Amino acid sequence: MSSNAVEIESLSKMFPTPSGLSRFAVLESLNLQIERGTFASIVGPSGCGKSTLLNIIAGIEAHDSGRVCIVAQNGTNSAARIGYVFQSPRLLNWLTVEDNIRFALEAQNIGKLRWNERVKKYLDMVGLAGQERNYPLKLSGGMQQRVAIARALAIEPDILLMDEPFSHLDEITARKMRVDLMHILEHAHPTILFVTHSLREAVFLSEEVYMMSVKPARIFKHLRVDIPRPREPEDPRLFDLEKDLVKEFFAVLERDYR
Amino acid sequence: MKLSRPALLPGLVSLVGLLLLWQVVSLFFLASFLPSPAELLSRVAAIFSNPPAYLIVGKTLERILAGLVLSMLIGAVIGLVMGLRPAVGSFFDSWIMVLLTFPAISWAFLSVLWFGISDLAPIFTIVLIVFPYVTMNVWEGTKAMDKELTDMAMVFRANQFLLLRKVLIPQLMPYIFSSLRISFALSWKIALVSEAFGAGRGVGKELMYWFQGIRADMMLAWGVSFMVLMVLIDVMVLKRWEKRVFAWRQIAVA
C-alpha cells in the first residue's frame, strides 16, 4: 500500500477554443503524487489550469485521459472524502453557520450523533465559537471564508483542496488567515492541495511546492520547503526561497512564450 | 432614534379627499345606485349582522385556498422540473404559452359547462389561469440559480434530495413568494367571477344576485368588505410569512 493520498498519472484535459472549431490542451500528461499528511501547493500564473486540475480531482469536471486516484485513509475501498475551499466561500446563505457545516456532514453520510461535536470542534478551531446561530451574510468576508474552511475540515477529508482561498480577501485579512491556517494545521493534519498564484503564499504555507507552466500546464519544478512550522511570515529564509523561485519562474515563462 | 416612515400626511389628504368627493357625488344619486360612504358602511353592517354571510365568505375563502394551493403546487413543480430538465422545459414551453394566452373568461364559462354548479368549477378556473404564471416565474427562477453552489454540493457528495432541499429550492424561494402574492391577488378575483356563474353559494354569487336586483349599494358593500378582508390576509399573513422566511437576508447594521 502506498502512503500517497493523491496519485495522478499522465492526466490530460482538452478545452474547445473560443471559436469552437478546435481544441487545445489545458493539461497534458500531468503527473503528481502527494504523500499523506502533506501540505502541497501548486503555483502557476492565472489561467494555467490550476483550478481545472482541482475540479478534476474533486470530480466536478471530466478529464480526457490519464488516471486520478484519491486514496481513502482507512481501507482503500471506501470512497475518499474530499473537502474543498473555493475562492469565494460558497456558503448557503439561508442556513445558519452550524447548518452550513451540518449540510456537508449530512452530504457525507456522517452519523447525526457526531454532528454537534464536529460543528463545535471545527468552529472553535477556525476561531468562530459563538457564531453557530448566525447567518453568513452577517459575517465579514474573512469570517465567511473561515466557515468554509470549518465546513471542509469538519468532514475530516482524505484530501483538502483549496483554490486560492484568500485571494478575494483584503491583504491584511488574508495575511491573518494564512497565519491562522498554519496554526489550525497543528491540530488537524489533512493532506492539502493548495492552489495559488502567489509564490510567497506557497512557500510560507507548504511543505511541497509544485510550479506549473501554461498551456499546456505541466509541472516544471518540485521543491521541498524544509523550514519547520509554524513559520513566521517575515522569516528571511522564506524571502530568499521566494526570490530564487521567481527568477526560475520567469526564465521558464519567457522560454514558453517565445 | 427617529423611525423613518413614509410621510403619513399625503396619504391622509388623498383619503379624506376621496371620501369627500364620494360624499358629494353620491348626493346626486339614489342610495341603491351610488351610496354615500355612511350608507355603504350601514349596508356592510347589515350584511355581517346576518350569520349566513360568514358561511358565504367562508365558502369563497375555501375555494380560493384550494385553488391557490393547487396552483402553487402544480406551478412550482412543473416550473422546477422544466428548469432542471431542459428537455421538459422545451416540451412544456408552448403549452404554458397557450394557457397564458387563452382568454381567462372562457375558462370560467367552460368549467361551468364541464363541472356544472359545484365547488369544482371555480377551483378549476383558478388553477388553469394561475398555475401557468407560477410555472413561468419559478422557471425563470431556475435560470438564475447559482451553478457554483451546485458544484459545491456535488463536491461534498450531496444526494439529489439534499441538493434540492437545501440548495436549489431555497434559491427559488424569492420567486415562489412573489408568485404566491400575485397568485393570491389573481385567485380571489377569479374566484368571484367564476362563482358568479358557477356556484351555489359564495361572494361571487351574492354579487350576481344583487346585480340582478339592480342594487349597486349591496354589490359595493360585498365588494368593499371582501377587498378589505383580502388586503388584511395579504398584509397579516403573506407579508409576515415572507419576512420570516427571508430573515437571513437582513444584513447586520453596525
pLDDT of res. A233: 83
Instruction: Provide the pLDDT for residue A91.
Output: 97
CA nearest to B151 within chain A: A60
Contact of A1 with chain B, judged by CB distance below 8 Å, is answered with: no
Residue A32 pairs in a beta bridge with: A8
The mean of the pLDDT values for chain A is: 89
More confident residue, B119 or B135: B135
Query: If pLDDT is split at 50, 70 and 90, which confidence band does B252 have?
Result: low
pLDDT at B138: 96
Q: How far apart are the C-alpha atoms of A154 and A5, rounded to whole Å? A: 18
B237-248 mean pLDDT: 93
CA distance A83 to chain B (A): 7
Distance from CA of B163 to the nearest CA of A (A): 9
Cell of B111: 368549467
Structure confidence at residue A110 (pLDDT): 93
pLDDT of residue B254: 41
- Report the residue of B166, B168, B175, B250 to disrupt the A interface, i.e. the one with the largest count of A CBs within 10 Å: B166
Would you state the cell numbers that stand for residue A203, as one nine-digit string? 512557500
> What confidence score (pLDDT) does residue A129 get?
93
Average pLDDT over residues B200-215: 93
Cα–Cα distances in Å, from A113 out to A103, A105, B161? 14, 11, 21
B contacts of A136 (beta carbons < 8 Å): 248
CB contact under 8 Å between B155 and A60, yes or no, is yes
Q: Which residues of A touch B159 (CB under 8 A)?
A: 107
pLDDT over threshold 50, residue B129: yes
For the residues of B83-124, what is the DSSP string, one character each? HH-HHHHHHHHHHHHHHHHS-HHHHHHHHHHHH-SSSHHHHH
- Measured CA to CA, the distance from residue B232 to residue B117 in angstroms comes to 29
State whether A93 and B248 contact (CB < 8 Å): yes
Q: Per residue in A56-96, pLDDT tens?
A: 999 899 999 899 988 887 655 567 899 999 999 999 999 99
User: What SS3 string covers chain A?
Assistant: CCCEEEEEEEEEEEEECCCCCCEEEEEEEEEEEEECCCEEEEECCCCCCHHHHHHHHHCCCCCCEEEEEECCCCCCCCCCCEEEECCCCCCCCCCCHHHHHHHHHHHCCCCHHHHHHHHHHHHHHCCCCCCCCCCHHHCCHHHHHHHHHHHHHHCCCCEEEEECCCCCCCHHHHHHHHHHHHHHHHHCCCCEEEEECCHHHHHHHCCEEEEECCCCECEEEEEECCCCCCCCCCCHHHHHHHHHHHHHHHHHHHHHHC
For residue A228, give how far its alpha carbon lies from the nearest alpha carbon of chain B (Å): 32
A107 → closest Cβ in B148, B156, B247: B156
From the CA of A138, how many Å to the nearest CA of chain B?
5
Tell me if chain B has a CB within 8 Å of the CB of A82.
yes
- CA separation for the pair A116, A257 (Å, rounded): 53
Q: How many CA atoms lie within 13 A of A207 on its CB side?
A: 16
- A140 part of contact set with chain B, CB < 8 Å: no
Among A52, A61, A94, most B C-beta atoms within 10 A, so best to mutate, is: A94
**Looking at residues B141-157, what average pLDDT do you find?**
95
pLDDT at B7: 76
pLDDT of residue B1: 44
Left if phi > 0, otherwise alpha if psi is -120 to 50, otherwise beta: which for A239? alpha
Of B151, B167, B250, the CB nearest to A60: B151
Q: Return all residues near A253 (Cβ < 8 A) that are at least 6 apart.
A: A45, A213, A214
CA B253 to chain centre: 34
pTM (2 d.p.): 0.87
Cβ contact B155–A93 (<8 Å): no
CA distance A75 to A10: 25
The more confidently predicted of residues A90 and A221 is: A90
Region B156-162: mean pLDDT is: 95
Cα–Cα distance list, B246 to A101, A143, B167, B251 (Å): 20, 21, 15, 11
Q: Would you call B155 and A138 a contact, using CB atoms and an 8 Å cutoff?
A: no
Between chains, do B159 and A135 touch, taking CB under 8 Å as contact? no
Least confident span in A71-80, A188-197, B132-141, B178-187: A71-80
